[in-house]
């Protein structure tokens, strides 16, 4: 098991992100609290529409102007860098990759070209002296994501937020990017918040996992606990999905039902309409996170 230096880097206390939807402010991220420790990879998992990206944007200070943010975040003097699902749209097509990395360099006093070449080689781009003079369209999808990671590293961030960074890539390249992030975490003690809808990516990668459903965190635990002793029925459903393969039509299996839109979140536990273990009480009160030190979940039905 990986031993962590449990010094907290960022404490998020009751963060909400709301938008005006049909005349009222509706939270799409709703009173979310968690800690990221130094040198840790914390994963946020949940289906599409659960609020993962909205949470990430708020942490990076990149929320749109129309968002209302309520939060009490301890750690806002840190540098946060973010990488996204679609690397091409995050790169400037008219500027060489080297120049784009150079623009973000934190250490302005050191020779820029040397730093750029070091960064490109740190993210596994071969022939960095040649590659730095090329434009994004000359890079493959996996290489573009590596270039974006180099751009993020140039800023010397305390925290790297990676929002589905491998979803647009094929499986082999996906595994290479995950291995690269793991290496950067181990060698540079880089703290990473890794967002995905796919738990199966996390088994030998993340240290802890926060499971998000309909704007709220419903479980937080170490990766071993999540896989070996999941508590919340939603987490169990996600784990079952991660263990299943594509069906004969090439489609991934899914949990019956779907995540409701924020203005239709039900009373009580938001997962209860889809939950195999629901009781009448589940439709009344929103359960809060409770449990032990390194494992909390928001479901009073599961002990």
Ligand X SMILES: Nc1ncnc2c1ncn2[C@@H]1O[C@H](COP(=O)(O)OP(=O)(O)OP(=O)(O)O)[C@@H](O)[C@H]1O
Binding site for Mg ion (CB under 5 A): 53
Q: CA–CA distance from 287 to each of 4, 7, 76 (Å)?
A: 29, 28, 29
Site for ligand X in 18-47 (CB under 6 A): 19, 21, 28, 46
Q: In the complex, what is the shortest distance from the CB of residue 51 to Mg ion, in angstroms, rounded to a whole number?
A: 8
What is the separation, in whole angstroms, between the first and last Cα of the chain? Answer: 25
The token pair that represents 301 in the structure block? 């039905």
Q: In the complex, what is the shortest distance from the CB of residue 126 to ligand X, in angstroms, rounded to a whole number?
A: 31
Contacts of 246 (CB under 8 A, 6+ apart): 252, 253
146 near ligand X (CB under 6 A):
no
Interface map 174-203 toward ligand X (x if CB under 6 A)? -----------------------x------
Site for ligand X in 235-264 (CB under 6 A): 261-262
Pairwise CA distance, residues 297 & 232, whole Å = 6
227 near ligand X (CB under 6 A):
no
Q: In the complex, what is the shortest distance from the CB of residue 56 to Mg ion, in angstroms, rounded to a whole number?
A: 8
Pairwise CA distance, residues 39 & 158, whole Å = 9
> 75: how many CB neighbours lie within 10 A of its CB?
16
230 binds, among Mg ion, ligand X, none (CB under 5 to 8 A by kind): none
Strand partners, 297: 219, 290
Pairwise CA distance, residues 142 & 125, whole Å = 10
Q: In the complex, what is the shortest distance from the CB of residue 28 to ligand X, in angstroms, rounded to a whole number?
A: 3
Stretch that binds ligand X, among 49-57, 183-191, 232-240, 285-293 (CB under 6 A): 49-57
Q: In the complex, what is the shortest distance from the CB of residue 55 to ligand X, in angstroms, rounded to a whole number?
A: 7
Which chain residues interact with ligand X by CB under 6 A?
19, 21, 28, 46, 48-54, 64, 66, 197, 261-262
């Amino acid at each position: 098991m990986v031993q962590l230096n449990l010094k907290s880097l960022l404490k998020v206390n009751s963060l909400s992100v709301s938008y005006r939807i049909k005349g009222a402010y509706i939270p799409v991220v709703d009173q979310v609290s968690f800690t990221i420790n130094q040198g840790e990879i914390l994963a946020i998992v949940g289906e599409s529409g659960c609020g993962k990206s909205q949470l990430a944007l708020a942490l990076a200070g990149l929320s749109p102007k129309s968002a209302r943010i309520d939060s009490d975040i301890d750690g806002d003097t840190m540098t946060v860098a973010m990488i996204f699902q679609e690397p091409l749209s995050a790169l400037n097509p008219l500027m060489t990759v080297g120049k784009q990395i150079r623009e973000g360099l934190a250490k302005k006093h050191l020779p820029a070209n040397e730093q750029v070449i070091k960064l490109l080689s740190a993210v596994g781009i071969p022939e960095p002296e040649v590659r730095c003079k090329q434009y994004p369209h000359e890079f493959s999808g996996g290489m573009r994501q590596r270039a974006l990671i180099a751009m993020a590293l140039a800023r010397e961030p305390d925290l790297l937020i990676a929002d589905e960074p491998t979803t647009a890539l094929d499986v082999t390249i996906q595994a290479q990017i995950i291995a690269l992030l793991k290496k950067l975490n181990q060698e540079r003690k880089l703290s990473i918040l890794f967002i995905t809808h796919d738990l199966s990516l996390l088994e030998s990668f993340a240290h802890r996992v926060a499971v998000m459903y309909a704007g709220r965190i419903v479980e937080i635990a170490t990766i071993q606990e999540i896989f070996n002793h999941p508590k919340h029925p939603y987490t169990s459903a996600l784990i079952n999905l991660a263990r299943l393969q594509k069906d004969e039509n090439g489609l991934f299996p899914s949990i019956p039902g779907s995540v409701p839109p924020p203005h239709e979140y039900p009373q009580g536990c938001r997962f209860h309409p889809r939950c195999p273990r629901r009781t009448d009480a589940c439709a009344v009160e929103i359960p809060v996170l409770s449990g032990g030190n390194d494992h909390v979940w928001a479901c009073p039905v599961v002990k």
